[in-house]
């Protein structure tokens, strides 16, 4: 009996607590920087596209919402011919971002991508690519990995170490 | 002329009660939200007040479906009974001096009788749906309401003994000096509990217990038939709150403000209290409910009646 009265009193005191609801359209929620929202394709600090069309994101995607086609340009650099994400299937799990070796595909804290027409939720490469490097400002994959240029293989340039031999156990 | 005044009173009471009951849906949702640190409906119209209208329109346009296996006439009749019986009780309630449809000299008995008849709507609704969950709900409602009715009536007898009349107007008049909640505090507590159980309000909503019985006796109801059960429940809350006000809290009596304002203030305080009960308390198990009713509440009500009777007899003398 006492506990019931105490319960009621405690609940009554909640009249004076602030309300936790965020009145969404007028009041925006504060999202964490690593919130997993709309997916983008980022660019190098130099402005080149980061994606090397390795298909890892498409493989990692549990709902198969990523479709792309690799192509090579004259220097042998791989890039996606098309890159398509179907946001009506995407579950925003972030596995594509984790799979990406070049930090090209990233999830952003933007969730306001509703459409009246379902077809409009299929984003092409032009819709996905942004102008900047996204979350990793200084990172350029090719500077870290090295590039073959005419006559010189990776690690053969001046003041450059040879790349790690992945098949060797030696330190 | 007399007849016209009567008809106008009836219409005004009906209009006010139904509107207040419908408005309670909004009040309840807002208050529950307040106590759960939310906002509740606040989008439709100012402060979300038009939510009720929106809900009503939605209910009207819903398919009014009668299951093919249901007992059709009874199925249709059941929700009407709940509205009818609860609204009939309002005919004898004195809202303010002279503001009353009919001052029956057995007003209190009439209210109790009508609330007993209210059981039929639930039982028939559950029975005619021909659905095991509805039947369970109806069964529980019958058991619960019959057992809580017993001491609901008995808990009020103390008030009747003190007043010496069943007329609700006389009961209010008898509280001019002291509200009956003070000499009849036990009766008040018992009536509060019985009233909540009788109106199937949370925490006593065991007949519809959505976590166990889908929606209990109204599982099969849709559209405005469901709406009638729904509004019936809220009219019931208004009824029980008004009864508590009239029987224990001096009805319209109060300083400065006009009588009807006092009445409304008290009624809304109790409505808010019933909503607070809903916000705060979990639903008891069915066997707990029954054993509380018969093993605790009924003896307490009888003891209250005996002691009150003895005191009244001693004070007034056997003459």
Per-chain mean pLDDT for chain B = 84
Q: Kindly report the number of other CB atoms within 10 A of residue B56's CB atom.
A: 15
Instruction: Give the residues across from A66 on adjacent strands.
Output: A85
Note if the bond before B189 is cis, omega within 30 degrees.
no
Q: Which two tokens stand for residue B200?
A: 């199937």
Which residue of A lies nearest to B280 if distances are taken between CA atoms? A8
Residues A21-41 pLDDT 10s: 888 888 888 888 889 999 999
Which residue of A lies nearest to B279 if distances are taken between CA atoms? A11
Whether B26 and B51 have beta carbons less than 8 Å apart is answered as: yes
Q: What percent of chain B has pLDDT over 90?
A: 0
Instruction: Give the residues across from A106 on adjacent strands.
Output: A40
Of B37, B39, B277, the CB nearest to A14: B37
Q: Is the pLDDT of residue B171 over 90?
A: no
A-B Cβ pairs (cutoff 8 Å, strict): 34
In a domain, B244, yes or no: yes
pLDDT score of B318: 58
Q: Which residues of A touch B35 (CB under 8 A)?
A: 11-12, 14-15
Query: Do A4 and B281 lie within an 8 Å CB cutoff?
Result: yes
Query: Do B35 and A19 lie within an 8 Å CB cutoff?
Result: no
Of A7, A20, A23, the CB nearest to B280: A7
Q: Is the pLDDT of residue B258 over 70?
A: yes
Q: Which residues of A touch B192 (CB under 8 A)?
A: none
Q: Which residues of A touch B282 (CB under 8 A)?
A: none
Residues B4-34 pLDDT 10s: 888 888 888 888 888 888 888 888 888 888 8
Q: Is the pLDDT of residue B177 over 70?
A: yes
Q: Which residues of B touch A26 (CB under 8 A)?
A: none
Host domain of residue B290 = 65-316
Among A110-114, A128-132, B166-170, whose mean pLDDT is lowest? B166-170
Instruction: State the pLDDT confidence band at A122, using cuts at 50, 70 and 90.
Output: very high
Calpha distance B206→B132 (Å, rounded): 15
pLDDT score of B283: 84
Calpha distance B248→B258 (Å, rounded): 19
Q: Is the pLDDT of residue B112 over 80?
A: yes
Q: Which residues, other chains included, contact A99 with Cβ-Cβ below 8 Å and sequence gap of 6+?
A: A56, A57, A59, A60
Domains and CATH numbers, chain A: 32-138 (3.30.70.3270)
In a domain, B257, yes or no: yes
For chain A, the three-class secondary structure string (H helix, E strand, C coil) is CHHHHHHHHHHHHHHHCCCCCCCCCCCCCCCCCCCCCCEEECECCCCCECCCCCCHHHHHCCCCCEEEEEEECCCCCEEEEEEEEECCCCCCCCHHHHHCCCCCEEECCCCCCCCCCHHHHEECHHHHECCCCCCCCCCCHHHHHCCCECCECCCCCCCCCCCCCCCCCCC
What Rg do the C-alpha atoms of chain A give, in angstroms? 24
Interface of A with B (CB under 8 A): 4, 7-8, 10-12, 14-15, 17-21, 23
Among A72-81, A140-149, B118-127, B305-314, whose mean pLDDT is lowest? A140-149
Which residue of A lies nearest to B36 if distances are taken between CA atoms? A14
For chain B, the three-class secondary structure string (H helix, E strand, C coil) is CHHHHHHHHHHHHHHHHHHHHHHHHHHHHHHHHHHCCCCCCCCCCHHHCCHHHHHHHHHHHCCCCCCCCCCHHHHHHHHHHHHHHHHHHHHHCCCECCECCCCCCCHHHHHHHHHHHHHHHHHHHHHHCCCHHHHHHHHHHHHHHHHHHHHHHHHHHHHHHHHCCCCHHHHHHHCCCCCCCCCCHHHHHHHHHHHHHHCCCCCCCCCCCCCCCCCHHHCCCCHHHHHHHHHHHHHHHHHHHHHHHHHHCCCCCCCCCCHHHHHHHHHHHHHHHHHHHHHHCCCCCHHHHHHHHHHHHHHHHHHHHHHHHHHHHHHHCCC
The values of phi and psi at residue A41, to 5°, are -110, 125
Alpha-carbon gap: A35 to the closest alpha carbon of chain B (Å): 24
In a domain, B21, yes or no: no
Of B35, B37, B276, the CB nearest to A20: B37
Among A154-158, B224-228, B279-283, whose mean pLDDT is lowest? A154-158
Calpha distance A42→A149 (Å, rounded): 24
Nearest of B293, B243, B262, B102 to residue B176 by alpha carbon: B262
Whether B270 and B243 have beta carbons less than 8 Å apart is answered as: no
Calpha distance B201→B207 (Å, rounded): 10
Which position has the higher pLDDT, B1 or A107?
Answer: A107
Kindly state the average pLDDT of the residues B179-186. 81
Alpha-carbon gap: A10 to the closest alpha carbon of chain B (Å): 9
Q: Is the pLDDT of residue B40 over 70?
A: yes
Among A151-155, A165-169, B148-152, B307-311, whose mean pLDDT is lowest? A151-155
In a domain, B183, yes or no: yes
Alpha-carbon gap: B297 to the closest alpha carbon of chain A (Å): 13
Q: Is the pLDDT of residue B161 over 90?
A: no
Residues B292-305 pLDDT 10s: 888 888 888 889 88
Query: Do B276 and A19 lie within an 8 Å CB cutoff?
Result: no
In a domain, B248, yes or no: yes
Query: Do A21 and B280 lie within an 8 Å CB cutoff?
Result: no
In a domain, B37, yes or no: no
In a domain, B281, yes or no: yes
Q: Is the pLDDT of residue B62 over 70?
A: yes
Q: What percent of chain B has pLDDT over 70?
A: 99
Residues A65-96 pLDDT 10s: 999 999 988 877 888 999 999 999 999 999 99
In a domain, B116, yes or no: yes
Query: Do B35 and A15 lie within an 8 Å CB cutoff?
Result: yes
pLDDT score of B319: 52
Number of domains making up chain B: 1
């Amino acid at each position: 009996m006492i506990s019931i009265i105490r319960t009621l009193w405690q609940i009554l005191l909640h009249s004076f607590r602030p309300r936790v609801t965020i009145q969404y359209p007028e009041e925006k929620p504060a999202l964490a920087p690593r919130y997993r929202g709309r997916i983008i394709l980022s660019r190098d600090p130099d402005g080149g596209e980061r994606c090397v069309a390795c298909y890892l994101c498409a493989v990692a995607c549990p709902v198969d919402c990523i479709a792309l086609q690799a192509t090579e340009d004259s220097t042998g650099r791989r890039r996606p011919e098309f890159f398509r994400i179907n946001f009506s299937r995407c579950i925003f799990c972030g596995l594509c971002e984790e799979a990406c070796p070049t930090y090209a595909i990233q999830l952003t804290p933007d969730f306001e991508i509703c459409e009246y027409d379902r077809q409009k939720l299929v984003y092409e490469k032009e819709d996905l690519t942004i102008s900047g490097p996204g979350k990793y400002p200084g990172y350029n994959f090719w500077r870290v990995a090295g590039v073959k240029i005419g006559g010189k293989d990776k690690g053969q340039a001046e003041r450059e170490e040879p790349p790690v031999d992945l098949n060797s156990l030696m330190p | 002329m007399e007849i016209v005044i009567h008809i106008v009173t009836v219409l005004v009471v009906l209009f006010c009660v139904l509107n207040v009951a419908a408005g309670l849906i909004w009040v309840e949702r807002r208050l529950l939200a307040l106590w759960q640190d939310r906002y509740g409906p606040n989008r439709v119209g100012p402060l979300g007040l038009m939510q009720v209208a929106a809900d009503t329109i939605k209910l009207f346009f819903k398919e009014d479906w009668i299951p093919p296996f249901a007992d059709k006439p009874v199925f249709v009749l059941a929700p009407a009974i709940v509205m009818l019986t609860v609204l009939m009780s309002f005919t004898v309630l004195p809202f303010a001096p002279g503001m009353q449809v009919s001052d029956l000299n057995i007003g209190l008995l009439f209210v109790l009788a009508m609330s007993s008849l209210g059981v039929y709507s639930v039982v028939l609704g559950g029975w005619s749906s021909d659905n095991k969950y509805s039947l369970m709900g109806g069964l529980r409602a019958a058991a619960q309401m019959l057992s809580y009715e017993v001491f609901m009536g008995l808990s009020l007898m103390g008030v009747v003994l003190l007043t010496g009349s069943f007329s609700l107007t006389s009961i209010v008049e008898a509280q001019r000096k002291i509200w009956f909640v003070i000499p009849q505090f036990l009766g008040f507590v018992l009536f509060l509990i019985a009233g909540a159980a009788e109106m199937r309000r949370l925490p006593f909503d065991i007949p519809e217990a959505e976590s166990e019985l889908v929606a209990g006796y109204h599982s099969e109801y849709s559209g405005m038939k469901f709406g009638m059960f729904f509004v019936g429940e809220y009219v019931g809350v208004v009824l029980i709150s008004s009864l508590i006000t009239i029987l224990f809290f001096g009805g319209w009596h109060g300083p400065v403000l006009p009588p009807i304002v006092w009445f409304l203030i008290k009624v809304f305080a109790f409505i808010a209290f019933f909503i607070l009960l809903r916000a705060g308390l979990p639903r008891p198990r069915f066997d707990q409910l029954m054993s509380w009713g018969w093993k605790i509440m009924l003896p307490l009500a009888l003891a209250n009646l005996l002691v009150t009777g003895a005191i009244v007899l001693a004070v007034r003398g056997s003459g």
